[in-house]
Structures are given as C-alpha cells and as structure tokens.
Amino acid sequence: MARVSLTDKIARDLEFYWQLVGDKLTDEDICHKVGVRFAQLRGWLQRNTRPVGSDGKPGPVGLRDLRARARVTVMTGYLAELNREARDAHGAGDYRTASNIWMWLLEKQFPTKYGKLITVATEGPVSGVLLVGGEVDLETWKTRASRQQGQSGVTDGDRSADAEDEYPG
C-alpha cells in the first residue's frame, strides 16, 4: 500500500469501523479494510493528526479524538443495552435480575456512593481492610468498618441504609 494523506473520508471510515465493531477487530484489520498501512495509522494517532478536508485545510478534531469519540459511542451503546435488559427483566417480573443490573450500573457510575465496602474479618474488631478507591485514609476505613460490624455482625460488603450517609459521594 502506498503512503496516503489522512483525508476526511479515511477518518470517517476509520471512525465507522471503530464504532461498528468496538473491540472485535484489531486496528490492523481495520487498516486493511480502509486501505492504509498500520504504521501510518499508528503515526497519525501518535501525532493526533487532523484529517484534511476537500478544501485542503485540516479539520477541527484530530484522529485520536475521533477514536476516543467512537469508543465512547460504543460504551454508551453497551450501557443503553444493559439498561434495556434491566427494564425488560423488570417488565417480565424478574426483579432480582433488574435490580442486579441497575446496582452494577450504579456501582460503576458512582463507586464512592454505591460501591461495596470490603472488609476482611479475622481477629479483633478490624484486622484486615481492603481500601477501595483510596479516597480516605486507613484509620477512617477501620472506624467505619468496625461500626458496620457492630451493626450487622459480620461484614459481607453490603452497607446498611443507616450507614449510607456516612460514606463520601
């Protein structure tokens, strides 16, 4: 393949394939479909080259930004599909599946508020604590974990409704 310039058409084709397949095709495969060499695509991405329009002027957005936008589009599609699955499960009366999907989505979107506090119960009030997110220091986590153990016995990672206001987020 000959060396080519990054045109609007090539950039649109690359963005189309990045959106279409997500992570199913490698960049090498996409290059073959578009008709450019992989080394050239890698160089364009490293330099964040802006595609040249038909008027000969570079466009406003670089190729790396187009790729990031395509990946966000793919992720948004997956999240929308998960939400549709949860709604369908809820509509069919499968409340457990629906709530599991929605809880997973909340944990990923808001980890400090809906994420799980994981403690390791060995000897003493709290002897092993796994820090999640690293937002607060170890002593604060130990204090919260010991309060939680006192409320519910053994901590399994789930928070009580009363403890929800204590956590940042």
Alpha carbon distance 146, 154 (integer Å): 10
Distances (CA, A) of 19 to 69, 70, 72: 9, 5, 9
64 lies in the same domain as 117: no
Residue whose C-alpha is closest to residue 79's, from 111, 99, 100, 109: 109
* Residues 14 and 67 reside in one and the same domain: yes
pTM of the model: 0.56
Assign 138 a pLDDT band (cuts: 50, 70, 90): low
Q: What is the mean pLDDT of the chain?
A: 77
Closest by CA position to 166, among listed 138, 141, 149: 141
Overall domain count for the chain:
2
Is 67 in the same domain as 122? Answer: no
Q: pLDDT by residue (tens digit) across 28-49? A: 999 999 999 999 999 999 999 9
Do 66 and 117 belong together in one domain? no
Domain range for 152? 113-166
Q: Is residue 77 part of a domain?
A: no
- Compute the average pLDDT of residues 47-71: 90
Spatial CA neighbour of 149 closest among 116, 111, 119: 119
Asked if the structure places residue 23 within a domain, the reply is yes
Rg of the Cα atoms in the chain: 24
Does 37 fall in a domain?
A: yes
Domain contains 79? no
Question: Considering the domain boundaries, does residue 35 fall inside one?
Answer: yes
